[in-house]
Amino acid sequence: MRAMKRLLSKKNLCISAAVIAVYALVQALFSAGVLRTFHEVNFITGCIGIIMAVSLNLITGFTGQFTLGHAGFMAIGAYFSAVMTVKWGVFFPISLFCGGVLAALFGVLIGLPTLRLKGDYLAIATLGFGEVIRVVLLNTKYVGGASGFFGIPRLINWTWAFFIMVIAVVVIRNLLWSSYGRACISIREDEIASELMGIDITKYKVLAFTVGAFFAGLGGAIYSHYFYGMQPGTFNFMKSIDYLVMVVLGGMGSITGSVLAAVALTAINVVLQQYSDIRMILYALLLIVIMIFRPQGLMGSRELSVNMFRKLKRGEKNGAVGSK
Amino acid sequence: MEQFYIFLQQLINGVSLGSIYALIALGYTMVYGIIKLINFAHGDIYMMGAFVAYFAVLYLNVGFLPALILAMLTCLVLGVLIERIAYKPLRNATRIAALITAIGMSFLLEYTMVFFVGAQSRAFPDVLPSVRLEFFGGKVYVTGKELLIYGVTIVLVVLLQFIVKKTKTGKAMRAVAYDRDAAMLMGVNIDHTISATFAIGSALAGAAGVLVAIYYSAINPLMGMTPGLKAFVAAVLGGIGIIPGAALGGLIMGLVETLVIAYGQSTYRDAVAFAILILILIIKPSGILGSNVREKV
């Protein structure tokens, strides 16, 4: 009964209502014909961006493990789910899920040996892993090789993408606000100290890596089931950087920051679509300037929350919620 | 016997590629040794070197040597500027922050060049007479370009070894790399030493860029990305922070890559480099010439 009461607290109800309102508003605009199919692309890309950024934040922002191979997990999810749907004829929500599971398995496989590495070595090793995945896909005839894998039916729509995104954010948020999440954050703050406190460092690093990889795989699966297909080059190093920029901009260690940054950067991309060169120059400058002047990202490790607004109204200094 | 000639020819090609990787890897390893930063922009400084030489040959009508020196000097200045503007403010920040800045710097150089000169490949003009040394009745040969690569690499590596081992700046570099705080207390000017490291490393990368432009006769603004990463792998392979290690690692990378292209599948050439990296990081993270360092609490 108390659990029920906590689940239906005023805060949770407010957030749920807001989420449903966003969904209903966009859905209504689609139904009314204000937004057309070519707008839908941007909304789906935004949802994928949020999934990728939040899952990367779990690994890099909260657990402090800098990885540059997130697009590799995305590629695994995208290709495996596509193979299941198209070649084996599996019902597509199951293949989406399996795409995520395979990516998670790779997360464990890659995570166990490489997580012994620290900082920059880990970054380079994960970068290498992402590239190896890409080259292997490039050389696999079964999934189309260099010309890519096409002919996947468009089974994802706004409703699917939105609710998978909401599930991803809620799962990662709840994981981080549990004792598991606190262990992850303590590893980021000081690995040696948390080991002394009896935290199994390897276990929690691999956990973060696996969960992050699972959702990255899911993001990839959504991608392949929306865009009819993909090439190995779709998931290159640049893709990993795109999502890293979202995490860095939003704040390493802030879920709402990642969500906001993913939405904002997707919108900026739409505006700058014709000028892709300038977009990359801007991205580069953004990374450098943020790192020099605000290395913790725009939101830092703060979260945007109902409490924050309430405190702002009372004129209090808004404290960090959750971590730090 | 025929097989042996082909193998010998591949070795010659491999050493040329390896020398170029070695030159880039030297800069990586020096910078990493002194400020513990993977300078992602290093590969793009190499690209800038190639472009400076290209414009020098095309518009100033100079020969190989002036173009090489001009490219090295431009890269030297660029390297020092990058360090002063982007990396110096972050010297006491977290490693991740510095690394992200380096990635940003790399993209900035690449896409600024794409913006100004376009992303398409350009043909690098021939600045050398085509010479060819033949052995075994023409079955194995060394081109003039390859001889030039060997020559320039050997001269630069010897020069670098001299600077690092015999000069006062070199001594300061080694001191800062060993213990920055202690070096500072002994009166070493840290800022100057780090700038000098960037200057030397960037000049070497610029030279590598010119050599690659001559060797492959083609340049483009994104050419630095993959060789940059591979040179880093070479530096890790030889033991990061160790100068002979970087040269050795570069040679091994070049040889392995050439042999993979010759006897395996050329599409796997990029994957092999990273497979080597992951293996070396798991088996012996300190590299071939490195000694294990225990973690201090």
Tell me: the pLDDT tens digits for A71-86?
A: 999 999 999 999 999 8
Contact B90 A292 (CB under 8 A): yes
Contacts of B96 in chain A (CB under 8 A): 60, 64, 66, 119, 252
Q: What is the pLDDT of residue B249?
A: 92
Q: ipTM greater than 0.90, yes or no?
A: no
- Is B271 an 8 Å CB contact of chain A? yes
Contact B267 A139 (CB under 8 A): yes
- Cβ contact B22:B154 at 8 Å: no
From B176's Cα to the closest Cα of chain A, the distance in A is 20
Contact A287 B111 (CB under 8 A): no
The residues, any chain, with a CB within 8 Å of residue B115's CB and separated by 6 or more, are: A277, A278, A281
Nearest to B274 among A119, A128, A248 (CB): A128
Cα–Cα dist B27/B157, whole Å = 11
Q: Which residues of chain B have pLDDT under 50?
A: none
Contacts of A119 in chain B (CB under 8 A): 95-96, 99
Nearest to B95 among A119, A135, A252 (CB): A119
Closest by CA to A216, choosing from A177, A179, A244, A251, is: A244
Nearest to A139 among B90, B114, B265 (CB): B265
Closest by CA to B146, choosing from B212, B197, B95, is: B212
Q: What is the pLDDT of residue A319?
A: 45
Nearest to A284 among B98, B107, B233 (CB): B107
Interface test with B, best of A63, A68, A135, A286 (most B CBs within 10 A): A135
**CA atoms within 13 Å, Cβ hemisphere of A44:** 23
- Cβ contact B52:B74 at 8 Å: yes
Cα–Cα dist B204/A304, whole Å = 48
Q: What is the pTM of this model?
A: 0.84
Cα–Cα dist A261/A284, whole Å = 15
Closest by CA to B101, choosing from A288, A248, A121, A65, is: A288
Q: What is the pLDDT of residue A132?
A: 87
Model confidence band, residue A9 (pLDDT cutoffs 50, 70, 90): confident
Q: What is the pLDDT of residue A324?
A: 37
Cα–Cα dist B62/B175, whole Å = 40
| Per-residue pLDDT at A245 exceeds 70 | yes
Query: Which H or E run includes A5?
Result: helix A2-7
Contact B104 A119 (CB under 8 A): no
pLDDT by residue (tens digit) across A123-150? 888 888 888 888 888 888 888 878 888 8
Q: What CA–CA distances, in Å, run from A25 to A16, A136, A159, A259?
A: 14, 42, 12, 18
- Cβ contact A137:A231 at 8 Å: no
Q: What is the pLDDT of residue B108?
A: 92
Q: What is the pLDDT of residue A57?
A: 93
Q: Across chain B, where does the E strand assignment appear? A: 122-123, 132-135, 140-143, 218-219
CA-based nearest residue in chain A for residue B93: A295
Of residues A306 and A288, the one with the higher pLDDT is A288
Contacts of B89 in chain A (CB under 8 A): 292
Contact A123 B99 (CB under 8 A): yes
Contact A135 B232 (CB under 8 A): no
Model confidence band, residue A310 (pLDDT cutoffs 50, 70, 90): low
Of residues A7 and A171, the one with the higher pLDDT is A171
- Cβ contact A280:A239 at 8 Å: no
| Per-residue pLDDT at A152 exceeds 80 | yes
Cα–Cα dist B202/B227, whole Å = 15
Nearest to B94 among A135, A280, A295 (CB): A295
Instruction: Give A147's DSSP letter.
Output: G
Domain spans of chain A, in order of start = 1-35, 39-244
pLDDT by residue (tens digit) across A91-109? 888 999 999 999 999 999 8
Q: What is the pLDDT of residue A280?
A: 82
Nearest to B267 among A128, A135, A291 (CB): A135
Contacts of B41 in chain A (CB under 8 A): none
The residues, any chain, with a CB within 8 Å of residue B133's CB and separated by 6 or more, are: B141, B142, B143, B147
Contacts of A147 in chain B (CB under 8 A): none
Number of A–B residue contacts, CB under 8 Å: 120
Domain spans of chain B, in order of start = 13-224
Three-point CA angle B180, B186, B192, nearest 5°: 60
CA-based nearest residue in chain B for residue A251: B97
- Cβ contact A214:A81 at 8 Å: no
Interface test with A, best of B81, B230, B281, B282 (most A CBs within 10 A): B281
Q: What is the pLDDT of residue B294?
A: 56
Q: Which amino acid is at A70?
A: H
**Average pLDDT for chain A:** 85
φ, ψ for residue B123 (rounded to 5)? -85, 130
* pLDDT-above-70 percentage for chain A: 93
Q: What is the pLDDT of residue A318?
A: 45
Of residues A322 and B294, the one with the higher pLDDT is B294
- Is B94 an 8 Å CB contact of chain A? yes
The residues, any chain, with a CB within 8 Å of residue B157's CB and separated by 6 or more, are: B22, B23, B26, B247
Nearest to A138 among B90, B95, B267 (CB): B267
Cα–Cα dist B198/B177, whole Å = 13
CA-based nearest residue in chain A for residue B40: A124
Nearest to B268 among A135, A192, A281 (CB): A135
pLDDT by residue (tens digit) across A25-64? 888 888 887 777 778 888 999 999 999 999 999 999 899 8
Classify A150 as helix, strand or coil: strand
| Per-residue pLDDT at A225 exceeds 50 | yes
Interface test with A, best of B105, B106, B107 (most A CBs within 10 A): B107
CA-based nearest residue in chain B for residue A244: B100
Contacts of A116 in chain B (CB under 8 A): 282
- Is B97 an 8 Å CB contact of chain A? yes
